[in-house]
Amino acid sequence: MPRILFLTTPHEDYLADSLLHGLKSLLGAEVVDFPKAEFLYDTYPSERRRALYGNGFSLYGLLPDIDVDRSGAIERAVAGEFDLVVFADIWGGFELFAELADRLRGRRVAVLDGADRQEPYPYAGLWWRRPARWTLPRAHKRALYFKRELTPLTGWYRSFLLLPPVLAARLPSIRQMREIAFSFPAQKIVNEPPTAKRRLLASHVVDGEVARRLGVGTSYAFDDEADYYADLRSARFGITTKRAGWDCLRHYEQAANGCVPCFRDLQRKPPRCAPHGLNSSNCVSYRSVDELLSRLERLDEQSYHILREGALAWARANATVRRAGQFLAQCGLPTAIRDRDPDPQRATAA
């Protein structure tokens, strides 16, 4: 099995954390997270988990805390002990990347860009406002670059705003960037679609226009994950939207609980930008509250069942172990390990 050094970020990062969950689920101790991502393990105190982003729902406190040798991890990577070195957050960890880029020449390296930003590293004001950073090593030249918010404007920023976006998107450095998205733990995906659908919409309504029409608030509605999941399972549809970025764990939470996502303005999402695979077979796209309510009213039961099955299939296709397998394949590492559910006691429908 391949050995991986995963250089973590000290804060919650859904892209990095879900990928790490999948890699650890597949490879166990062969994945060395350094520093240790404490909040991903089952030894992380439950009272501290509630202080995490999103109340620590869905991704956190799941991994078995097995023994892993983290001593001298970076020097071992420089010496060639690992088959792959992953930088979990190129935006927050660019200084470490700059420090190690030359020392890791000849090694297989990947960087994750999970920021809610369309710019690639280091082509944003964060770096260009300081002349001392103009010579930072370019990650797209030194590593496999995985970007979540990959849009036509990504190339525009890469061209120093000189090329029209449609032309900039064809730059070799942009075409070679790898697409990547959030993923979801397989053990939290229901086996079968819940049948007890008592309500039309889930309680957490993030679209302000829809919330005003229904007379509800848009703030987070739950302090307990079990209550949140039960609410999703009891509803036919859930509302989701683009916020700072197009990808959001909420899309996956809804689908994984047999709740069909209703995604505002999904048709505007750039094709290479996450999330991938949401379409009319598993999701309801709408432009306004009137269009949404009209579409839901006209939907017959058979069409709804098809959507619900499609949403659940989409969630399974985006399980953390599947994403990890895809990531390994793109990094040129052995892919003989089959996608598997690391926990045989899967979630059951309420």
Residue 335 pLDDT: 63
- Are both 4-182+320-330 and 190-317 of the same fold? yes
Q: Kindly give the residue spans of alpha helices, DSSP state H, lying in 93-224.
A: 94-100, 125-128, 139-142, 152-158, 165-168, 172-175, 208-214
Q: Kindly give the residue spans of alpha helices, DSSP state H, lying in the chain.
A: 14-27, 46-49, 73-78, 94-100, 125-128, 139-142, 152-158, 165-168, 172-175, 208-214, 225-233, 249-256, 289-298, 301-317, 320-330
Question: pLDDT tens string for the chain (350 positions)?
Answer: 899 999 999 999 999 999 999 999 999 999 999 999 999 999 999 889 888 988 999 999 999 999 999 999 999 999 999 999 999 999 999 999 999 999 999 999 999 999 999 999 999 998 999 998 999 999 999 999 999 999 999 999 999 999 999 999 999 999 999 999 999 999 999 998 877 788 999 999 999 999 999 887 777 778 899 999 999 999 999 999 998 999 999 999 999 999 999 999 999 999 999 999 999 999 999 999 999 999 999 999 999 999 999 999 999 999 999 999 999 999 999 765 544 544 434 444 43
Domain 190-317 in CATH 3.40.50.2000: yes
CA atoms of 2 and 22, how far apart (whole Å): 14
Residue extents of the structural domains in the chain: 4-182+320-330, 190-317
Task: Tell me which CATH code domain 4-182+320-330 carries.
Answer: 3.40.50
State the residue for tokens 């226009």.
209
Residue 344 pLDDT: 37
Prior bond of 164 cis (ω within 30°): no
DSSP 347: B
